[in-house]
Each structure stands twice: as C-alpha cells, then as structure tokens.
Amino acid sequence: MSDLKWWETAVIYQIYPRSYQDSNGDGIGDLKGITSRLEYIAGLGVDAIWISPFFMSPQRDFGYDISNYCDINPEYGTLADFDEMISKIHDLGMKLMIDIVPAHCSDLHPWFEESRQSRDNPKADWFHWVDPNPDGTVPNNWLSFFGGQAWSWEPRRQQYYLHNFLSEQPNLNHANPEVREALNQVARFWFDRGVDGFRLDAVHTINGDQAPYLDNTANPDFVPGNLPQQQQPFFRQLHDVAQLNQPAIQTFSENYRKIADAYNGDRFLMGEVDGDKGRAMEVSKTFTDTGRLHATYNFDLLTWGGLSVDGLRDAINNAVDVFNGSGRLCFAFSNHDVPRSATRQLAALALGPDQGDAMQLLLLKLETCLIGSSCVYQGEELGLEDVTDIPVEQMQDPWGVKFAPAFLGRDTCRTPMVWEKSNQHGGFSTAESTWLPVSSQHLKRAGLDMAQTDGSIYQQFAQFLAWRKNQPAIMNANTMSTVSGDARTLVFDRISDAQTLRCTFDFDTLTASFEEI
C-alpha cells in the first residue's frame, strides 16, 4: 500500500462542462449530461475529475467570470444536479475537483456592481481603484493578458479599475480582509458539499496591496518564438516585480490551506501558476512551501506551438530538478486554453498525419509516468484533433473573436465531445445547433464507439492505467532520475524501495517500453 496522498499520483480527467454532454437540448453541456457520462470516464481508470467553472456567470469568459460563486449557472443545472453528480462520482470511486477563480470575478457580480457606484460604499475597496494620471491616462503600463490595457475607466468614481484579463473580469483586492473572508466562505461552501479539491485559477494574478503601482519593466530576453502575435505585447514585459506574483498570493494560499486541512487532511489545492520566462518552477516552489498549496499546475508541456523531444526533456527536467521526491506538481499536455496536443505536438515532433493516434497514446503514457499528478483533457483519450475550421461568425472565445482570423483563440480545443458517430451532433445534443459546432472530423473517434473498439486509444490507455496502478515505482514514491535519451527518445527511471522501473519513450517508433532494473 502506498503512503502517498491520492493527489500525489492522481490521473485527473478535465471536463469543459459547456462541451461535454447536453442533457436538455439547448446545445450547451450541463451537469446532468456529465452525470450521464461518468461510467465512460470511470472506465478509463482515472482517479479524479476536474470540472471547469459552472457557477453563476454571464459567460463573457465562459465561466471564468463568476457572478455568484455558490450557485450553478442555470444553463448548467442546479445545486441538486451537482449533488447527484458528486454522489455518483464518489460511488464510482473517483474524486471531484472544481475550479475556483480567486483572482477576479465578473463585472456583474454584486460585489463589483456595488463597488463601482462610488468611492465610499461598503464595497468601495473590494477592487483595485486607482486615480488617473494628471493627464487622464491609465495609472501605469500594465497590459491585459487578452490584449490592450489592464485598466478600464469607471466614470461614476472617476477612477480606473484593474483587470489582468477581460475588462469584464475586475481583479479582487486581496489586501482587503473582507474579500479574503468572502473567498474563504466559498471554499467552505464547496468542501461542505463534498468536493475533494480545487483547481485554483490564475493564482499568480491575485493582487493585494499593489501601491505604488510600479510600471512593469521591458523583458530584455523577449523572443517571439511561436507565441501568438496577439500575446506578444504582454510578454514583452516582465511582470513579477510589479503586476503579478505578489505576496498577497501567499496569504491567500495559507488561508485556503488551513481551511482544506480542517477537512480530514485529504482535500487538495492545486494552483494554476506561471512566472516570467524561466521562473515558473521557482515560483511554483514558493507557492507549495509548507502551509501553502499542495501542488501547482505546470504549464511547461502546454506551450502553444508544441515541443520537440529535446524541448520535452528540458521541460520535464526543469520540473524534476525542483520537485523530485514530491507530488507537488501536475503535468498536462492539453487543456481548454491551448490548441490540442494531437495537433500541436504532431507538428512539433515532425510526425505525419497517420501517426497521430500512436503519438497521442505515447504522450498520455509519458505524462502519467512522471512524478506528481497529471491532467488529461476531455478528448485526449480519443486523440481528438484541434478544430481550426470554425467559421468566424460562429466563434465564441472573446480572445479569438477579437483577433480572428489572424489568431483563432481557444475555441479550437473547446468544441463539443462526440459520443456516437451515427447520432445527431455526435450524440452531444439534440438541439438544432450547438454553442460551438461539433467537428465532423471528430466523428470517426466518437467516445462510446472508441470505448468499445479493440485497440483504440481509449482502450489502450485504460489498460495502461490499470498496469500503472500495480507499479510500486509509480504509485508508492515520487522519485525519478533525470531524463536522458537522444534526439528521438526520452529515458528515465522511476524509483521506489520495491522497484526501479526504466521508462523509455521512442518518438520514432512511437512506443513506450518499461523494464524493471
């Protein structure tokens, strides 16, 4: 038996609820829909499910703009639907993680609606309100991650407010103890309802006492690389001195950890964390120091343009250098924010279109053999490709809508799941049209069909996860050697007292092999 906590080795399946399964024919996925697909997820043998936000929200950033943290957006269902879902998840032997957004809320949250009215209302100090410069311009040079200034003007207060993402996502003022307490209550609300852990959104963008609102400095090492052009101005700056990664984050983390620990010591806090180039690991380490978050979500395998074999090795070794011996990090190859790995990595590894399935399975095996936890994004178990032919008028992601067609944003990885080839919209919905179109390209890989097809990625991955559960080197310790190999292979050992397992990933033959040594 392993002494490790469940989250130290967990394989976590990420659901984007808007696109998983529609149960009421409105073209939008919902909680009842998820409940109806839980056997399919359990069949993979994953340990936990993480569901992206389904709380009350005007959906400007599709749930990452919350207007009530303790209720369900009606298009996703009700709290009763949530209770039914979590109880079935637990019955099937899995844990549930939900996505809490502590850095910002919606501009339609009553907190912000009140705060923006005047400079002296009870919520006046719940956000970052700053006077304009004498010439009327914005307080400093901070930019929003989604493009443009990080400041918007509020005529009633004659002040600017801060938003690191959309202007509809005002940043909460974590220097205010009332704000911190309000967010603490959110944690208790969901833990009391049985949730096993939180994925904490954009923790590095939590802002506390930011005065005197220093300018960000220029990033002397900026190279565009394969960054989308629309994001380049943001990355021309260094943020960790002024705008991001501020001390208020640690106060937040410590508060949340105390709350989590009060629930039988088994609740998990995983923070989405980033830092200026080359600093992500250092920042992640600080965030997971004693008494803070249990783990951070590592972005390094998620690079927009994909990674070569050498790039994969460097990214893994950077993380292992800092975290070896612990389960304090989570790896992922895909999520709802970047082009799907089946497409992105195929190009970066210089593989041909007929090699997609073998590559996808290899990547799934690779990430679930690394130390710590890993997140598998819905559709990776099917090898779903990125969908790049969505007509501009049907695009939804505000980031993509703003910059299309030069930049497609994140709709390409968010199209609805497909379940049965022969069913309308692949079985996702009975509606005439769905919120994003179902890809006809995906139909040949429909989930329920693949779950019953011998040799499919779904089946091979499920068999692999069953094998993984019996490997002491992976399940009982979080220790691995540095990754070696050559331009087409990655080789490392997983090591426990009982077993040393040599893991070899060959990107020419697209096979993984394992040997006890």
Residue numbers 10-49 binding ligand BGC by CB under 6 A:
none
Minimum CB separation from ligand BGC for residue 306, in Å?
19
From residue 28, give the alpha-carbon distance in Å to each of 20, 88, 108, 144, 358: 8, 21, 22, 28, 31
In whole angstroms, the minimum distance from the beta carbon of 168 to ligand BGC comes to 11
**Cα–Cα distance, 339 to 329 (Å, whole number):** 22
The yes or no reply on residue 367 touching ligand BGC (CB under 6 A) is: no
58 burial (CB, 10 Å; 0-12 / 13-18 / 19+) is middle
**Contacts of residue 517, Cβ cutoff 8 Å, sequence gap at least 6:** 493, 500, 501, 502
411 binds ligand BGC (CB under 6 A): no
Q: Which is nearer to ligand BGC, 202 or 490 (CB)?
A: 202
For ligand BGC, the binding residue among 8, 337, 380, 385 (CB under 6 A) is 337
Catalytic member of 201, 274, 276, 386: 201
Closest separation between CB of residue 91 and ligand BGC, Å?
29
Closest distance of CB 458 from ligand BGC, Å: 25
Indicate the DSSP class of residue 254: H
Please, what is the minimum distance in Å from the beta carbon of residue 165 to ligand BGC? Answer: 4
Give the residue from 468, 516, 513 showing the smallest Cα distance to 10: 468
Is 266 a catalytic site residue? no
Nearest residue to ligand BGC, using CB?
64
Count the residues of the shown chain that bind ligand BGC, applying the rule CB under 6 A: 9
| 178 in Cβ contact with 103 (< 8 Å) | no
Among 30, 272, 380, 385, binds ligand BGC (CB under 6 A): 272
Torsion over CA of 470, 511, 225 and 439, rounded to 10 degrees? -90
Instruction: Report the C-alpha gap between 339 and 195 in whole angstroms.
Output: 29
Nearer to ligand BGC, 272 or 300 (CB): 272
CB of 264 to ligand BGC, least distance (A): 28
What is the DSSP secondary-structure string of 398-438? HHHHHHTTT--TTGGGTSPP---TTSGGGGS--SSS-SSPP
Q: Which long-range contacts (CB under 8 A, 24 or more apart) does 466-471 make?
A: 466/45, 468/11, 468/368, 468/369, 469/45, 471/499, 471/501, 471/514
Q: Considering the rule CB under 6 A, would residue 165 count as an interface residue with ligand BGC?
A: yes
Q: Does the annotation count 221 as an active-site position?
A: no
Considering the complex, state which of residue 81 and residue 337 has its C-beta at the smaller distance from ligand BGC.
337
Q: How far is the CB of 197 from ligand BGC (least distance, A)?
A: 16
Residue 493 binds to ligand BGC (criterion: CB under 6 A): no
Residue 64 Cβ, how far from ligand BGC at the closest point, in Å? 3
- The string of DSSP letters for 98-116 reads EEE--SB--TTSHHHHHHT
202 lies in the site for ligand BGC, by CB under 6 A: yes
Q: How far apart are CA 50 and CA 95, in angstroms?
A: 9
Whose Cβ is closer to ligand BGC: residue 334's or residue 456's? 334
Burial code of 3-26, b = ≥16 C-beta within 10 A, e = fewer? eeebbbbbbbbbbbbbbbbbbeee
> Please, what is the minimum distance in Å from the beta carbon of residue 272 to ligand BGC?
5
Determine the Cα–Cα distance for residues 252 and 179; give it in Å rounded to an integer.
Answer: 10
Q: Does the N-terminal peptide bond of residue 405 adopt cis geometry, omega within 30 degrees of 0?
A: yes
Helices (H), 200-340: 232-235, 248-261, 280-287, 309-323
User: Toward ligand BGC, which CB reaches closer, 64 or 287?
Assistant: 64
Is residue 64 within the footprint of ligand BGC (CB under 6 A)?
A: yes
Instruction: Name the minimum Å distance from CB 180 to ligand BGC.
Output: 19
Determine phi and psi for 333, rounding to 5 degrees: -105, -20
Binding status of residue 201 toward ligand BGC by CB under 6 A: yes
**Which CB atom, from 53 or from 139, has the smaller least distance to ligand BGC?**
53
Binding ligand BGC (rule: CB under 6 A), the pick from 47, 61, 385, 449 is: 61
Query: Which of the residues 61, 99, 196, 272 is marked catalytic?
Result: 272
Nearest to 283 by CA among 253, 316, 323, 245: 245
The pair of three-digit structure tokens given for residue 455, joined into one six-digit string = 């040799």
In the bound state with ligand BGC, the residue whose beta carbon lies nearer, of 336 and 445, is 336
Q: Is 101 in the site for ligand BGC (CB under 6 A)?
A: yes
Among positive and negative, which fits the CA dihedral 460, 466, 472, 477?
positive
Nearer to ligand BGC by C-beta: 239 or 336?
336
349 binds ligand BGC (CB under 6 A): no
The β-bridge relationship of strands 159-162 and 197-200 is unpaired
Nearer to ligand BGC, 54 or 505 (CB): 54
Nearest Cα neighbor of 273 from 103, 461, 62, 154 is 103
CA distance 397 to 74: 20
- 52 or 216: whose CB is closer to ligand BGC? 52
C-alpha 294/C-alpha 268 separation (Å) is 6
Q: What is the footprint of ligand BGC within residues 217-256 (CB under 6 A)?
A: none
Active site residues per annotation: 201, 272
Residues forming contacts to ligand BGC in the complex (CB under 6 A) are 61, 64, 101, 165, 201-202, 272, 336-337
